[in-house]
A = this chain, B = another copy of it.
Amino acid sequence: MARTYLTPEIHRKRIERVQNLLNDDGLETFLVFNSKNIFYLTGLSFIPTERPIILILHKGEVNFFVPSLEIDHVEHQVPFVSQVFSYFEYPDVKHPMYHLAENLMKELKIQSNKVASEAAGASGYWGYKGPSLEDVTGLKFKQLPDMIMDMRVIKEPEEIELMRESSKWAARAHKYLQNFTELGANEIDVTIRASTQGSHDMVQELGDTYRPTGFSMFPAIALYRGQIGPNSYFPHALSRGLMFKKGDTLVTGASSDVYGIHAELERTMFMGEPSARQTELFEAMLAAQDAALGAAGPGVRCADVDKAARDAFNAKNVFHLVRHHTGHALGMEGHERPFLDIGSEDVLQPGMIFSCEPGIYEQGLGGFRHSDTFVVTEDGIEITTKYPREISELIIE
C-alpha cells in the first residue's frame, strides 16, 4: 500500500532532531511561527490568519500558543501535545503577545540565553501588528530563522514516498488535461474539468488512506495558466481565460497534494502538427532537460546541473531565449532551496528533491518547457513524474 500520510512517530522523530540541535546550542526553548514548519513538526494544519499561532518547544515538551478558535483543534490533531496556552482574540483589549509573555515567563519560566525563536515576532499577515518577543519579555531571543527549513532540505524516505504518490496523481490529472484540451475550449474550463476528474479518481481510489491536509482545494490539479499560443512566451503567465487555437504552443502544469507534499509536472504540447521552428525549439528544450538530468546525481554541484542545460542550449544556438535557471528544490513549498543555478554553492545530496525544467521562450511563438520532479538517490536520481516527454505524444489532434 502506498504511503499517503505521515504518522505521529515521524513528527516525534523530527521534534527529537530539533531538540538535539537546541541542546547542542544550550537552548531550552524554541518558538516556531511558520505554519508549514509547524505542520512539518507536528502534523497540525490550520488556516493562518492575523491571529498568532506559535509552536513552543520547551525542555522536550510540545506546547502551543493559539487563539480560542484553535484550542480544541490543536488537541484534536496533535496527540503528543503537552500544554495549549491561549488568548481569546486578536486584537482584543489585551494584545496576544502580552498573554504570550505571561505564559512564557510565569508558566514556562523561560530564561535569557536559553531561548530562541524563528522570527522576532508574529508576522504581519492579514492585518496583524504587534510588538516583538523581546519587547514583551525583556529577554534576548536567539534568532534561528532557517533551522527548520534547513532540516526540510533533506527529505526522509517516508516523505519521498509521498512525493512518488503525489507524482502519480499529478500524471493522472495531466492525462485528463491532455484529453480534454480541444480547439475553441477555454483554458479555465479545461483546467477545472481535468482537476475535478483527477481529484475524483484520487479520492475514490485512495479511500480511507487519503488524509487531506486542508491546504489545497483540489487534491489533484492539472492546469493551464495562460501559457497558450503567443502568451506562452511569458514563463510565468497567469490564467486569462484564453481559448485554444490551431498552431498554439501550450505549457501546462500538474500536481497533487499528498499530506502537504506536491510534485511538479509540466509539459509543452501543440495544437496540431508543430511547425519546423516549434519542433526545433522543442527538441532543444528536450536536449537541455536530458543534459541536466544526465548531469544530476549525489555529490554533483547544483551549478553544474544548470551548466549542463546551458551548454546544451548553447550547442543549439538558443541560449538567448533562456529566461531562468534549470530548477529548484521542492516538497511542501512550490519552490525551496537549493536552486539548480549557476550561482549556487550547494551540492546535490541523497534525499534532496528537485524540479528539472530548463526552458526557452521565443516572442510571437511561445514557450518550451517540460518540468519533471526527481529525487537524488545514493547512486543517481529517480524521476518520480512518469509522463510522456516526446513530441509525438504531446500533439493535440
Contacts and interface: CB of A to CB of B under 8 A. Distances in A.
Query: Chain A interface secondary structure, helix, strand, loop or mixed?
Result: loop
B241 A212 contact: yes
A238 B39 CA distance: 13
Given A127-B328, A199-B192, A218-B192, A236 B70 contact: yes
A283 to B, nearest CB: 22
Interface extent on A, as a size class?
35 or more
A316 interface: no
Given A50-B335, A127-B335, A192-B199, 10 more contacts: A47-B236, A49-B236, A68-B324, A70-B236, A72-B363, A76-B234, A89-B324, A92-B341, A126-B328, A191-B217
A237 interface: yes
A89 B240 contact: no
A326 to B, nearest CB: 10
A191 B324 CA distance: 36
Interface stretch (A109-117, A220-228, A389-397): A220-228
Interface in A328-348: 328-329, 333-339, 341-344
A47 B67 CA distance: 31
A73 interface: yes
Contacts of A193: 196
This protein's copies in its complex: 2
Contacts of A236: 46-47, 49, 69-70, 73
B76 A335 contact: no
A91 interface: yes
Interface in A29-80: 45-47, 49-50, 67-70, 72-73, 76
* Closest CB pairs A-B (n = 8): A214-B238, A127-B337, A69-B235, A126-B335, A92-B343, A69-B323, A93-B343, A91-B343
A192 B217 CA distance: 8
